[in-house]
């Protein structure tokens, strides 16, 4: 096994492990690597949909997406298709997946099916580092406070994306409240748990102060010093710890740039715990 760090902040590319052959022992190694690096990448993993689902189940129960329908025959898999003529890409902007749910996603296993010749990288940012490096005055201000995470409603997941369909769940917007500083259930580390896309207000704080504080946190958490960037190839697999990272899908391969490329990914998500 070889582990190549992607940056000094987080992320590692792992070689010498076949995810096709996953068993309890290999899973333990993969899980340790995930907890250490927060996002791990594997190239040339020609796994079937069944094998991707099997791998996911080692981490825990599979999560159904809040709004988006799964693949035909594989309801556990959400196929993310950005058409060649589309400008928008699912996952643009900093976020942690479905942080608006009572039990947000624990981890995601994303497999690339079709990748543009250039563009479409994904960037991840380390939220333990974001917490550690916050100024003491703002740490004091947000510790023991909660924030509201809004789901934005089904349209924001489906409307702008030609190939996405509703799974029939209630399309209305809803929200849940989570501690701004959560504790990782496996490592005990503190994590800055807000994100630009879904976190809208701090509970019990005047409106203007809440907006100001959140903007400061969003600015801080997206600092390039906390990030790594993965350039996809086909048949690559990314596994990220959705509790301790935020991520951003870069949409730089759309027709307006003279680069109308299709991109296809298969996503399986694992249900997480209630943040505390």
> Residue 275, interface with Fe ion (CB under 5 A)?
no
In the complex with Fe ion, the residue whose CB is nearer, 63 or 97, is 97
Contact window for Fe ion (CB under 5 A) among 85-93, 109-117, 208-216, 219-227? 85-93
In the complex with Fe ion, the residue whose CB is nearer, 92 or 262, is 92
Q: Are strands 78-82 and 237-241 parallel, antiparallel or unpaired?
A: unpaired
Buried b or exposed e, range 12-37, using 16+ CB within 10 angstroms: bbbeebebeebeeebeeebbebbeeb
Name 53's Cβ contacts closer than 8 Å, sequence gap at least 6.
Answer: 62, 74, 76, 77, 268
The 88-127 contact track toward Fe ion, x by CB under 5 A, reads: ---x-----x------------------------------
> Residue 272, interface with Fe ion (CB under 5 A)?
no
Q: Which of 21, 160, 152, 163 is nearest to 99 (CA)?
A: 152
Shortest distance, CB of residue 95 to Fe ion, whole angstroms? 6
Number of residues this chain uses to bind Fe ion (CB under 5 A): 2
Shortest distance, CB of residue 80 to Fe ion, whole angstroms? 9
In the complex with Fe ion, the residue whose CB is nearer, 13 or 97, is 97
- For 123, the token pair is 């960037």
In the complex with Fe ion, the residue whose CB is nearer, 182 or 247, is 247
d(CA 13, CA 39): 9
* Residue 257 DSSP label: G
The answer to whether the CB of 45 falls within 8 A of the CB of 20 is yes
In the complex with Fe ion, the residue whose CB is nearer, 47 or 108, is 108
Binding site for Fe ion (CB under 5 A): 91, 97
């Amino acid at each position: 096994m070889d582990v190549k760090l992607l940056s000094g902040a987080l992320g590692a590319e792992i070689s010498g492990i076949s995810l096709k052959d996953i068993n309890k022992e290999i899973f333990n190694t993969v899980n340790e690597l995930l907890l250490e690096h927060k996002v791990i990448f594997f190239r040339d993993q020609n796994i079937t949909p069944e094998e991707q689902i099997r791998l996911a189940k080692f981490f825990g129960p599979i999560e159904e997406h809040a709004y988006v329908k799964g693949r035909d025959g594989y309801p556990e898999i959400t196929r993310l298709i950005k058409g060649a003529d589309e400008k928008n890409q699912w996952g643009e902007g900093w976020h942690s997946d479905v942080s608006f749910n009572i039990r947000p996603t624990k981890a995601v296993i994303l497999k690339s099916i079709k990748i543009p010749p250039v563009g479409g990288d994904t960037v991840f940012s380390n939220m333990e580092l974001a917490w550690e490096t916050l100024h003491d005055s703002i740490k004091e201000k947000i510790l023991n406070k909660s924030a509201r995470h809004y789901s934005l409603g089904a349209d924001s997941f489906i409307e702008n994306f030609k190939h996405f369909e509703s799974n029939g769940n209630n399309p209305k917007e809803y929200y849940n409240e989570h501690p701004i500083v959560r504790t990782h259930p496996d490592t005990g580390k503190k994590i800055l748990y807000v994100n630009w896309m879904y976190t809208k207000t701090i509970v019990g704080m005047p409106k203007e102060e809440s907006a100001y504080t959140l903007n400061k946190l969003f600015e801080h958490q997206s600092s390039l010093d906390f990030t790594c960037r993965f350039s996809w190839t086909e048949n690559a697999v990314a596994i990220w710890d959705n509790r301790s990272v935020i991520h951003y899908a870069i949409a730089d391969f759309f027709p307006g740039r003279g680069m109308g490329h299709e991109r296809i990914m298969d996503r399986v998500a694992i249900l997480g715990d209630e943040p505390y």
